Structure 1
Amino acid sequence: MKKITSRWVPHQLTDEQKQERVKLCGENLAKFRDGSWRLCDIITGDETWICHRQIHRKSTNASWVGEDESPTTIVRRDHNYYIENCLKPVVKEIWKQRKSAGTKGIKLLQDNARPYIHSDVINYLTEEGIIIMSHPPYSPDLVPCDYWLNDYIKRNLTDQPDGKSLARAVSKVMKKIPKEEFKKAFDKLLERMELCINNHGDYFEHLIK
């Protein structure tokens, strides 16, 4: 008898998707190795659910409402929200921290969610001089937010009574993360690209000790 644990598999990858993962990892890794790209020039981000109470899946979230009551609103973030509330504040902060260089050399690493790849988003980033790093579909194992940051934040949070206190708590956790932790997470990005290539594009989490 042996003890086993379950492991979440993001997607059942096709051979074509595995080949794309190998191809893009090889291309990106080559740019870091020849010095044309630097890890310190990468910005990255993602969205995740952070709850102050238990949230069930949508299928179990049905409820009865009175005749004059409004149903619960499910908020969806579109590309306009992404530009105005995510990208523009980040660009402003980049110029604040890099007064002479600005966005020169900055690369954005993000997944392929629909709001992120909308033409308006791509045009905005291009106008700001930000390079979008090629990222293969169904690859959360190749984005620092997915393989490190989101889980780190949630592990260090305590229960919060409402949304405002939750937002403050998340900001507090983020500000306390040592720079060394960020460096380790981005160094692992290169290691993960190599693992992806060596594992022929398949998921490799089970190979990480």
Structure 2
Amino acid sequence: MQPKSIFDDLCTALRDQAPSYNTVVRWSKLCRDGREEVEDEPRPDRPVTETTSDNIENARHLIDNDPYLTIDETQVEAGLSHGATQRIVFDHLKLKKITARWIPNQLTDSQRAERVRICQENLAKFKHGTWRLCDVVTASGETPPTVVRRSHFASKTLFCIFLKTTDPVLIHHVERGQTIDHDYYINNCLQPLVNEIKKQRPSSGTHAIKIHHDNARPHAHKDVSTYLESQGIMKMLQPPNSPNLAPCDFWLFDLIKENLTNQRSSVSLHRAVTKVMFSINDDSEQLDDELRNNLKVYRTA
């Protein structure tokens, strides 16, 4: 029986709790190689005695000094095993990573200058009235706003969110296992986005609308640019080599997570995320202020 068939059967029976396709492929190979035991093989890991009070305090000190340390970096700094580091961080320090912000560490002088130039140029257009903030559609890219896991094998739930200062425009749920390339982005995100904009603005349509998203490959593809131009939508410049300036990383994902509870399925999670997003609309002035503050951050980035 082929791994794909096994995976499809597991997804039908277990739904969100089914193991990943890569795991099924690995299991299938082990079975073909003659493996019959289901228990894990013994591993030469370091003993649990690494989780001592001194090591816990050392890890706490490292993370207090640099909250952006990854597990791997903390492991190296503390001289512990990966498993011991995870136990200390999650079980003893009770820490979790809400939003990862990628900071460019090795920009050249010309890259830094270009980054500042683009940010100042965008901000000036709003200050001088050339652009209106309410005409900007901010896209969250493909970063998932939340991950709900009920078991070791539960999959991530991924959303693409598009919003303006006045209200959310589109919340798209990406099906499990789906790869987001430029064709998927156009057909499943941008086309529904354009239709929703025209529905919300029947008299003006996409006139003066601008989209602000990061430079991920699906966003930067020439076919995406061509489609947006054909619909009269302008792409705001996003500084190159600056993934930490992705608009929604500043505040949106944290806000969504703070207002979410555990959900039983991806469908209920979609409903919950939608509810949170539309509740933001109840305080559109705060949303407007958040987006303006983000633009000001760009100026000194």
Structure 1 unaligned regions, length at least 5: 57-72, 197-209
Q: CA deviation at 1:18?
A: 1.2
Query: Which position in structure 1 is the counterpart of 2:65?
Result: 4
> Structure 1 residue 173 and structure 2 residue 264: aligned?
no
Judged with a 3 Å threshold, the aligned counterparts in structure 2 of structure 1 residues 181 and 140 are, in CA distance, closer, same or farther, namely: farther
Within-5 A mapping of 1:154-193: 154-177=257-280, 178-193=283-298
> Structure 1 residue 14 and structure 2 residue 107: aligned?
yes
Q: CA deviation at 1:164?
A: 1.0
CA contact (8 A) 1:144 1:185 kept: no
Query: Which position in structure 1 is the counterpart of 2:143?
Result: 48
Aligned length: 179
Runs of 4+ off more than 2 Å: 2-5, 7-11, 137-144, 193-196
Q: CA deviation at 1:81?
A: 1.2
Q: CA deviation at 1:140?
A: 4.2
Q: 1:55, 1:33 → 2: CA distance?
A: 49
TM-score by length of 2: 0.55
Q: 1:81, 1:55 → 2: CA distance?
A: 29
Which letter maps to 1:20?
A: E
Higher helix share: 2
Which letter maps to 1:194?
A: R
Q: 1:23, 1:36 → 2: CA distance?
A: 17
Query: Which position in structure 2 is the counterpart of 1:98?
Result: 201
Q: 2:252, 2:189 → 1: CA distance?
A: 17
CA contact (8 A) 2:215 2:243 kept: no
> Structure 1 residue 76 and structure 2 residue 171: aligned?
no
User: Share of identical aligned residues, percent?
Assistant: 46
Aligned CA-pair RMSD: 2.2
CA contact (8 A) 1:10 1:138 kept: no
Relative contact order: is structure 1 or structure 2 higher (C-alpha 8 Å, sep ≥ 6)? 1
Q: CA deviation at 1:194?
A: 2.7
Within-5 A mapping of 1:58-69: none
Q: 2:212, 2:292 → 1: CA distance?
A: 14
TM-score by length of 1: 0.77
Deviates more, 1:11-20 or 1:39-48: 11-20
Q: 1:168, 1:96 → 2: CA distance?
A: 21
